[in-house]
Amino acid sequence: MTNFSSNDFRSALSSFATGVTIITARDLNDDPIGMTASSFNSVSMEPPLVLWSIAKSALSSPSFTNATFFSVHVLASDQSEISNKFAIKGEDKFSNINWHEDQNRVPIISDVSSRFDCKTHDIHDGGDHWIIVGKVLNLENSSKQGLVFSQGSYATTSTIKPKQHSGSNVDTGASLIDELLIYQLARASRQVETLFHKTVEEEGLTIPEWRILASLYGKVSRNLVDLCARTFVDPSAITDVLSQMNNDNLCVLAGEGSSMLITGTESGMKRVAHLFNMAKNQENEILTNMNEQERLSLLRNLENVISNTNN
């Protein structure tokens, strides 16, 4: 006796995202058969074994449990229509699709992501399903993205970066430097900066002026050394920039040399407030797939990198 209904069980299982396969074989009359199955999984590396399970109620169940050979086709991300076709009972499943037969007369469907040609190794009783274990005799693997099935809907693996196969000449676009945090930080910074600098220039400020005003935003005063570190403005050029900003009533300067204290004026803060909102909007667009918790975690981690490299 269980404390959940079969609907609860099905619903909870559907949160486990899977790939989608079509399993094909010949039926008892030697006609081609096939069905959509997401129960496919790997079992053993040596010998190479895979499994899938078929409902005992499926029309093709007696044929699959008697077949000597079968093929598992892992569907590509653009093959959800074929998946639906092979999930309909009694449908003429092989009409209007590209297929041929292999040397064991198993139907082979074209353009899939990968394929495992199997010999039936074992069949186990699994409640209302048969668990069919196959020994893999041959496989084909393309670089196509696989189709995903989760919570009753199809999805794609487009956000998953393909891994470079060792010894392969195929260029998947990824390289070793992509794993280097320092490189990704520099690249992200450069790209974000380029985007926003256009906005700054359109608002009639230079980049050093924007950086200085942004560092003074929130009614803080900063000394020259701190300001140089925050704005990356060349120390030999910053005093000229500051005296021009002082003339333009964007900031006021007190004292001289490295102990100079710089404070934003009201009109300087107004200019920067507008740009600050624009920066925030741009940030929201860039981080569109990130929730607030992830954004804060990224922010804290970046602050850590900055403080650990501050000399």
Ligand X SMILES: Cc1cc2nc3c(=O)[nH]c(=O)nc-3n(C[C@H](O)[C@H](O)[C@H](O)COP(=O)(O)O)c2cc1C
R_g (Cα) of the chain, nearest Å: 31
Closest contact distance (angstroms) between CB of 126 and ligand X is 10
Nearest distance from C-beta of residue 104 to ligand X, angstroms: 20
Nearer to ligand X, 55 or 133 (CB): 55
CA atoms within 13 A on the CB side of 103: 5
User: What is the distance between the alpha carbons of residues 4 and 32, in angstroms, rounded to a whole number?
Assistant: 39
Please check whether residue 74 is in contact with residue 115, taking contact to mean a CB–CB distance below 8 angstroms.
yes
Nearest approach in angstroms of CB 35 to ligand X is 4
Q: Dig out the tokens for 142 from the structure.
A: 């393309």
Quote the least distance from Cβ 160 to ligand X, whole Å: 19
Q: How far is the CB of 64 from ligand X (least distance, A)?
A: 8
- At 244, list the tokens: 């021009």
User: Alpha helix locations (H) across 155-291?
Assistant: 181-202, 207-216, 224-231, 235-247, 266-286
Residue 152 Cβ, how far from ligand X at the closest point, in Å?
Answer: 9
Residue ranges in contact with ligand X by CB under 6 A = 20, 35-39, 52-55, 58-60, 83, 87-90, 149
Q: Which is nearer to ligand X, 54 or 224 (CB)?
A: 54
When the beta carbons of 54 and 245 are compared against ligand X, the nearer one is: 54
How far apart CA 199 and CA 157 sit, in angstroms, is 34
> Least distance in Å: CB of 183 to ligand X?
39
Look at the alpha carbons of 207, 208, 212, 213 in this order and tell me if their dihedral is positive or negative.
negative
The two three-digit tokens of residue 63, written as one number: 């044929």
The nearer residue to ligand X, 38 or 114, going by C-beta atoms, is 38
Contact 19, 38 (CB under 8 A): yes
Give the angle subtended at the CA of 277 by the CAs of 271 and 281, to the nearest 5°. 145
CA distances from residue 107 to 22, 23, 34, 43, 95 in whole angstroms, order as listed: 11, 9, 8, 23, 12
